[in-house]
Amino acid sequence: MTSISTLGVGSGLDLSSILDSLESAEKASLDPISTQQSSYTAKLSAYGTLKSALTSFQTANTALNSADLFTATTATSSSSAFSATTSGSTIAGKYTISVSQLAQAQTLTSTQTQSDTSTAIASSDSTITIQQANGDDPITISLTAANSSLSGIRDAINNADAGVSASIIKTDEGKYVLSLTSDDTGEDNSMTVSVSGDSMLQSFMGYDASASGNGMTESVAAQNAELTVNNVAITNSSNTISDALEGITLTLNDVTTGNQTLTIAKDTSKAETAINNWVDAYNSLQDTFSSLTKYTAVDAGTDSQDSSNGALLGDSTLRTIQTQLKSMLTNAASTSTYKTLAQIGITSDPSTGQLEVDDDKLESALTSNSAGVKAMIVGDGKTTGITTTIASNLTSWLSTTGIIQSATDGVSKTLNNLTQQYNDMSDRIDNMVARYKEQFTQLDVLMNSLNSTSDYLTTQFDTSSDDS
């Protein structure tokens, strides 16, 4: 029997075109599923966009939800000899400051020099002990004789985290000394150094301020900072002083010439900046809402909506967040006279939902009654206040059990189901087309066989007729 390699050869029919038409007709049933897949994929992406926009707004809301913003102060010094930073609890006022002495760290330097940095000093293994005056436990450092060069001693001390930094100083050609400097300033961080196990190393680097015959000398004395604030004497081991003035950290840079002035003044700029950043973030969030719910009208008689519509048009999750957020922009329970944002210069455009700030009115409110503004915006920081309430809801919306995650999970589940439907139907169509092709092939073979038989019989009849 003759084999058929191309559909229709045996039958003379255009079976390939017929098969293609059948396949196209069947696959058309996949289009509605593909359309749904595209729609739900766009929704999934839109929920990601919504979550990102809410997270950005949450950052600005967290920054504004701070009581310290509304009690912020700024520090101004009349001298470069000192500067200051303040906290949210700092009281405005003026201080007279005089700095007579800066704190400094003790430095010990060996009196003996070495001709190089690699020759061993000790003839036997030894132990270096460093004790600081602050009463901390002494640090002991084991040292082999072979490792007792200047470089070896330096590295052993620096690796021991002993509160002391070691270095090598070249004083002249072929002359090197060892230098030890306390990591911290102040008299409490002065040190004694002793060596056991090798007398040569002890005579080279031993030091005790109360004894004679030291191998090292105090090249820089440990000393405390000394100053007066409003004629009250203060001594501190550090040049950064955070416990002398309540809410103020002083940084000493130099001694002063006579008395100088530190002025602590009320600062509304931090709150103004945070509020404006919050408004910008809120407006950006509103832009995202608008983009995700965009609606484009269609012509009468058109069956489908415009493809430029937002992926979350009519979405209940987004609508819930948008509605609830808008309801949180007032604080009727505020303990101050301020109940609405409009009272401090923040108004809403009813057509867009965007907020606008009147900077002059805002500054005036913060200057005259920053505590009242704080009471409205932050509240008690736990359950009341505009930003506090928003913060609680944002945390809920964005949580792994929140409404956005629930909506996302629902869309993902639907997409998985659609994918399964698509695959099942596609497999069914492929199997159907395969059966059609097999049947068409059998038809070709049968028709080819019949045609061959017909040709044979015709030939036989013609031959028989000629013979007669």
> 314: closest CA among 286, 300, 295?
295
Task: Identify whether 211 is part of a domain.
Answer: yes
125 and 184 together in one domain: yes
pLDDT value for 109: 98
323 and 450 belong to one structural domain: yes
Provide, rounded to the nearest whole percent, the portion of the chain with pLDDT above 70: 88
pLDDT (tens digit per residue) in 335-389? 999 999 999 999 999 888 899 999 999 999 999 999 999 999 999 999 999 999 9
217-228 tens-digit pLDDT: 999 999 999 999
Which pLDDT score is estimated for 415? Answer: 78
Question: 158 pLDDT exceeds 50?
Answer: yes
Give the span between the Cα atoms of 409 and 407, in whole angstroms: 5
Same domain, 127 and 212: yes
Residue 269 and residue 259 in contact, taking contact as beta carbons nearer than 8 Å = no
pTM: 0.66
Query: pLDDT at position 466, please?
Result: 64
**Stronger pLDDT, 275 or 458, i.e. the higher one:** 275
350 lies in the same domain as 447? yes
User: What are the tokens at 197?
Assistant: 């196990």
Neighbours of 189 (CB within 10 A): 22
Residue 19 has pLDDT above 70, yes or no: no
Task: Quote the longest CA-to-CA distance of the chain.
Answer: 153
Is 39 among the domain residues? yes
Closest CA to 68 of 240, 262, 266, 245: 266
Q: Which pLDDT score is estimated for 419?
A: 78
Mean pLDDT of 136-145: 94
Q: Domain count for the chain, please give it.
A: 3
Report the pLDDT averaged over residues 19-42: 73
| One domain for residues 2 and 150 | no
User: For residue range 431-458, what is the model confidence (pLDDT) as tens digits?
Assistant: 777 776 767 677 666 766 766 776 667 7
Q: Are residues 96 and 229 in the same domain?
A: yes
Least confident residue range of 22-31, 86-95, 399-408, 410-419: 22-31
| Average pLDDT of the chain to the nearest whole number | 88
Which residue range forms the structural domain that includes residue 239?
Answer: 73-102+225-266
